[in-house]
Amino acid sequence: MPSMKGVDTSVVLKALLASVVGISLLYTTQFILNAEQFYFVSTPSYIILPGMFAVASIYVTIKEWKNNSKSRIAIMFFAVGAGCWFAGEQLWIIIDVILDEEPFPSHADVFYIAAYVFFIMFLVLYIRQIKQSITKNTLLFSTIISFVFVLPALYVLGDYYQGESALSISVALVYPILSSVMLFFVLLGIMFFVKGAHTYFWTFIFVGFLIHTVTDTLFLFTAIDDSYYDGHVSDLLYLIGYLFFIAGVVCYFKTKPSAKTEMTILTFDAIGKIAIPLIIGTVFSVTSVFLVYAYFYAEDFTNETFLITLIIAIFIIIAIFSASIFIIIRQTDRFIRLRTKEVEMQKKDLEIILEKKSHEILQASEFSNIGINISQIVHDLKNPLTVLKLNLEMIENENKENPIISSRLGHMKESINMIYEHMSDVLNYIKKPTLDISEANLLDLIDKSIQNIDKPKTVSIKLPKEDVKIQCDPIRMVLVFINILTNAIDAMNNQGTISINTQQKKNSTIVNFENSGPPIPNDIMDQVFEPLFTTKPNGTGLGLPTCKKIIQQHGGKITISNNPTTVTIELPRKI
């Protein structure tokens, strides 16, 4: 979602609503003012609003070029179109108000038509970003509506301008044709909205284009039957359209944080499913009905009756626009509240994860530093221990007949062997050997492991019924099996049964080591693979972490479960 820094979107929506209502009420003053007095209401409106639209569009274009945005060319066409509209409005004011002329075509028509061309280019370039979401049904619907929209206008204008100059006929026909083309692209965008994808910019811009497209046709029909006058309801519609354009541009440059954010999507189901279809349906229905009556049954209506009916219709449309804006405000507030709550929850989760990761990184760093020192210490201790062991064996051989000395020497040798085992655990965990992968028989690896452990006669080991081949580093895998079997024997207090079984899957081999010992307490189950954690009085807490490290190097995983206590190793068939 774009950053809302610098603007409160709900304020823009409320300002738009107030402006639409205000300009509508302002135009009702024509009923209490004469024509000359009303010029001071209508003329400034057509200077200020188109001017604001043009200036805001140019400002956006400058920002987009500075940010090197991918949409800068499209926005440039949009700004040029806005500038052409402003120029056309000012020329028409000069021609109509100052010169008191009503030529057709006029110099203002050049800018009006050029604006259509530039806006169509803008729509083509911008809607291209969602072309993958446009279906064949959407294209067909937009084509049919655009064709139905333009056909009556072409027929009426062709009949009305018979006998006129080629230039007059061409200019007259260009308006509905360009309106129809623009309507086609507007409908594509609106149909995309119906699916639930919106931005404030697109919402306001498309509504503005829709108003201007319908109003252009209404203006042409009223001009044909000479019912147009300054302050006509079509003038009010044009100004309302400008208000929507201005609101869209304000939302665009105030909520767009960088060139990287091209089309941020907000989802408002109520707007997509109710408001926008209702607006489109009402605009087309009301406009179509009154255009038909204006042309075929004009003799049955006086200008006053026709004007009053049109004003009522336009206020219905304004009411729908207002309701839509209230829906947007309500949905926006709800959306922001939900997003705020979601962000707060994500923040808490991230803080927990960050704290955990920081602890892990700190622990890893500490282990790395400790490991460097310990590996050197262990290496240095091996030589004196070897000397002690050799000398003890020599003394033991010389004193075999003395049971007391022989017993004490035996205890000393056991202590030295225990020191060797602890040192081996530390070195196996610290070093990161390169695996020498080969194909090996599982039963051979288990047999080598059993030969290298001190298995009491009170412990029985049940081997798998069938042998399987696994891809592994045999030396490292034997080390894993030795560790698991030794832990199982200790857990059973040197009495019980260890059952080894295998399971073949499509891409992996599973080896289970079950033992008949007591279950692992639940409160320590999550800690058994943590370095330095041990429940043994003389344990190093590096046995299972070393096993996990080796299995992970093989691309596998190791887990422990209860009932019965089982260590499960899963290895990929191919490494």
Closest CA to 228 of 53, 42, 44, 86: 42
Query: Percent of the chain, pLDDT > 70?
Result: 70
pLDDT at 456 over 50: yes
Name the least confident of 192-206, 257-271, 328-342.
257-271
Place 134 in a pLDDT band, splitting at 50, 70 and 90. Answer: confident
What's the start-to-end Cα distance of the chain, in Å? 43
Task: Please tell me whether residue 460 adopts helix, strand or coil conformation.
Answer: strand
pLDDT at 24 over 90: no
Q: What is the mean pLDDT of residues 10-24?
A: 80
CB 416 within 8 A of CB 388: yes
Residue partners of 547: CB distance under 8 A and separation at least 6: 479, 480, 483, 484, 558
* Residue 370 pLDDT: 57
Query: Percent of the chain, pLDDT > 90?
Result: 14
> Using CA of residue 263, residue 264, residue 267, residue 268, what is the dihedral sign?
negative
CA 212/CA 232 separation, integer angstroms: 14
pLDDT in tens, 43-81: 888 899 999 999 989 988 888 888 887 778 888 999 999
CB 115 within 8 A of CB 84: yes
pLDDT in tens, 481-506: 988 998 899 889 889 999 999 998 88
To the nearest whole number, what is the mean pLDDT of the chain? 75
Name the least confident of 56-65, 212-221, 559-568.
212-221
Task: Please tell me whether residue 552 adopts helix, strand or coil conformation.
Answer: helix
Name the least confident of 12-21, 129-138, 263-272.
263-272
Torsion on CA atoms 260, 116, 209, 282, rounded to nearest 10: -150
| 76 to 56, 64, 90, 120, 574: CA distances (angstroms) | 12, 9, 21, 12, 57
| 427 to 135, 161, 376, 382, 424: CA distances (angstroms) | 64, 98, 10, 12, 5
202: enclosing H helix or E strand: helix 200-224
Q: pTM of the predicted model, to two decimals?
A: 0.49
pLDDT in tens, 361-375: 766 666 555 555 565
CB 116 within 8 A of CB 151: no
Residue 89 neighbours by CB distance under 10 Å: 25
CA 482/CA 485 separation, integer angstroms: 5
| Antiparallel, parallel or unpaired: β 459-462 and 496-504 | parallel
Strand ranges (DSSP E) for 240-286?
none
Task: Please tell me whether residue 493 adopts helix, strand or coil conformation.
Answer: coil
pLDDT in tens, 392-401: 777 777 777 7
| b/e map 536-558, b = 16+ CB within 10 Å | eeebbbbbbbbbbbbbebbebeb
- The answer for 68, left when phi > 0, alpha when psi is -120 to 50, beta otherwise, is left
CB 87 within 8 A of CB 279: no
Q: What is the DSSP letter of 457?
A: T
